Structures are given as C-alpha cells and as structure tokens.
Amino acid sequence: MKKLIIANWKMNLSPEMAVEASKNLAKGETLWRATDKQVVLCPSFESIAVAKNALENSGIKLGAQDCFWEDKGAYTGEVSPMVLKSLGCEYVIIGHSERRRELRESDKDVNRKTAAAWRVGLTPVICVGETFEERQTGKKDFVIMNQVTKALEDLAWPSDGNLIIAYEPVWVIGSGQAVEPAEAEHVAMVIRQVLLDYFSAENAQKVKVIYGGSVNVDNVADFTGSSAIDGILVGNASLVAENFIELIKKV
Ligand code: PGA
C-alpha cells in the first residue's frame, strides 16, 4: 500500500508563494513517481488553480482544506465541492480541529461535508482527535470513536469512493511535540474497529488511517514505518519545499 503524505498549508502561503513552493516540489519528480508514496498538496482555496498549473505532470495530487455540503446556491462565502473537483482537487480535508474550534464546525457538518465530497468524487480526509483535557480525563478513545461514528452516520460507501481518516491529537498540532508512534498505532486500531461497524471488511480495508500533529523530518519515519499507519498529514513541516522534500525522503 502506498504511504500517503498530505501537506496542509493552512492559511500560510499567498498564491505567489504557493506557486513557488509547488514548482520547487514538482522538481523532485523521481521522488513523486516512487511507487510507494503519494504526495498530496492542500493549498488554500485561492491558490488551488495556480498550484494545479505548477504541478502539471508532476505526479503530486491536489486537495482542498475544506468544502461546503451543497454544490451550488445561495451560500455566501462557501466553496462548492463540485467546483473543487472541477479545479483538479482529488482530496478534501474535512473537520480539521482548527475549524471545529474556531468556526464551531460540528460532527453533523463533518457528516454532511463527507457526504458531499463522496457525491462529487472527492476523497474525504476526515480529521479526528482529542483535546488535552479529554486525554487527561481518560476519554480519548471514546472521543475518537464518537467523532468517526458521527462523521459516517447514515452514509453508504460509494461504488468508486475512498476514505482517509486522520488521527490528529488536537493538543500536539503545531506544538513541535508529536505523540509516541505506539499511541498513534493504538488509535489507528480503534478507528479501524469503528469502520467495521459501518462498512464491509473489503471497503473498510480500503480506508487509509493516517497520523498528523507535529510530524517533522526527525520523527516521520517512526510513524510511516508502522504497518498500522498509512501516512501522515503535515502542517508546518510542509511549508518550505526543500524541507518537505527531505521529510518525504524519510518516508
Ligand atoms: P502541524 O499541523 O504538522 O503543524 O502540527 C498538522 C495539521 O494541523 O494538520
């Protein structure tokens, strides 16, 4: 199975910076064509079209950082999943903890966005993870099971669909301190168990469970070296192309 490496650029790069970073990354062509790795860049919305041009024929795929749950209509300020698909996105991050926290995004929103992504043929990257307080009070596994359950409630596996669940402990994102790989492996198994409640074993197996939260060049191999972890979601360490390339080489 290919290891998935998703870069979440958040709101950090202007379109000019995103083009430059994409061009620099596209230069690592042999790296991107390695059969055991798939790199996906998630620029902010305004940079998607220009990043797409810069990545032409590079083997790097594109994703968005969010989408709305309707394709079209009177929804001021929202972004259509259908349009993201037509711009060349193949993936969409849904329910990132920053959106859950800052924009009050609910489990129901995550569920509707996941349905919308599947409807238009985007692969949802659903983010789940516990806060420090939830962890300290022993609720971690329950919180994660609950988030996965609610995200998938009443959804049927689409015939040609795919799904990624990213375990991102909220308290380590951007902190510089990742969790122990064994802990990420444990959570990956908890997530896999929930998936079996929803989908056939065959479809559940297609789901990639990845880890995110302060992944860097020094710790990346500890996560991607595990057969329980199918890839990584990288924020800060993906912003400078040269550094991100070094990180990918370690996968
Ligand atoms: P980080 O961000 O790598 O900077 O911790 C990860 C994320 O938020 O997806």
Q: Which residues line ligand 1 (CB under 6 A)?
A: 8, 168, 173-174, 212-215, 233-237
Return the residue whose CA atom lies nearest to atom 1 of ligand 1.
Answer: 235
Are 84 and 94 in contact by the 8 Å Cβ rule? The answer is no
Residue 129: pLDDT band (50, 70, 90) is: very high
Atom 3 of ligand 1, nearest CA residue:
235
**Residues 237-247, mean pLDDT to the nearest whole number:** 96
Q: What is the mean pLDDT of residues 120-137?
A: 97
Show the tokens assigned to 216: 């860097």
Nearest CA to ligand 1 atom 2: 235
Report the pLDDT value the prediction gives residue 195, as an integer from 0 to 100.
96
76 pLDDT tier (thresholds 50, 70, 90): very high
Q: What is the pLDDT of residue 109?
A: 98
Q: With bands split at pLDDT 50, 70 and 90, how would you rate the model's confidence at 131?
A: very high
186 in catalytic set: no
Centroid of ligand 1 to alpha carbon of 213 (angstroms) = 5
Task: Please provide the size of the chain in residues.
Answer: 251
CB atoms near residue 156 (< 10 Å): 12
Residue labelled with tokens 């049927």: 156
Ligand 1 midpoint to CA 36 (Å): 23
Backbone φ and ψ for 121, nearest 5 degrees, come out as 90, 20
Say how many Å lie between the CA of residue 165 and the centre of ligand 1. 15
- pLDDT score recorded for residue 1: 81
Q: Please report the pLDDT score of residue 188 as a whole number.
A: 98
Q: Is 77 left (phi over 0), alpha (psi -120 to 50) or beta?
A: left
- 201 CA → ligand 1 middle, Å: 30
Q: Which atom of ligand 1 is nearest to the CA of 93?
A: 9
pLDDT of 83 reads 98
Among candidate residues 98, 105, 134, 168, the one labeled active-site is 168
Residue 198 has pLDDT above 90, yes or no: no
The pLDDT score that the predictor gives to residue 171 is 94
pLDDT at 24: 95
User: Looking at residue 35, what is its pLDDT?
Assistant: 81
Please state at what angle helix 181-198 crosses helix 140-152, rounded to 10 degrees. Answer: 40
Query: Of ligand 1's atoms, which has the minimum distance to the CA of residue 178?
Result: 5
Distances (CA, A) of 228 to 35, 43, 146: 19, 27, 20
Ligand 1, residue 215: give the atom nearest the CA: 3
Q: Is the pLDDT of residue 46 over 90?
A: yes
Average pLDDT over residues 113-132: 98
Find the 227 Cα to ligand 1 centroid distance in Å: 21
Bridge-based pairing of strands 3-8 and 164-167 is unpaired
Half-sphere exposure of 73 (CA within 13 A, CB side): 6
**Is pLDDT at 31 greater than 80 in this prediction?**
no
Q: Which stretches of the chain are assigned E, i.e. beta strand?
A: 3-8, 37-42, 61-64, 91-94, 123-128, 164-167, 208-212, 231-234
Average pLDDT of the segment spanning 231-240: 98
3-state helix, strand, coil in the chain (%, to 5): 45, 15, 40
**Whose CA is closest to atom 6 on ligand 1?**
235
pLDDT at 3 over 80: yes
In the residue annotation, 96 being an active-site residue is answered as yes
**Ligand 1 center to 125 CA (angstroms):** 14
pLDDT at res. 34: 75
What confidence score (pLDDT) does residue 158 get?
92
pLDDT above 70 covers a percentage of the chain that reads 100
Cα 232 from Cα 224, distance rounded (Å): 7
Q: Cα-flanking dihedrals φ and ψ of residue 234, to 5°?
A: -120, 125
Q: Which of 96, 98, 134, 185 is catalytic?
A: 96
Ligand 1, residue 176: give the atom nearest the CA.
5
Report percent pLDDT > 90 for the chain: 93
| pLDDT at site 23 | 95
Per-residue model confidence as pLDDT tens digits over 165-192: 999 999 999 999 999 999 999 999 999 9
d(CA 124, CA 114): 6
Q: Distance (Å, rounded) from C-alpha 158 to C-alpha 228?
A: 24
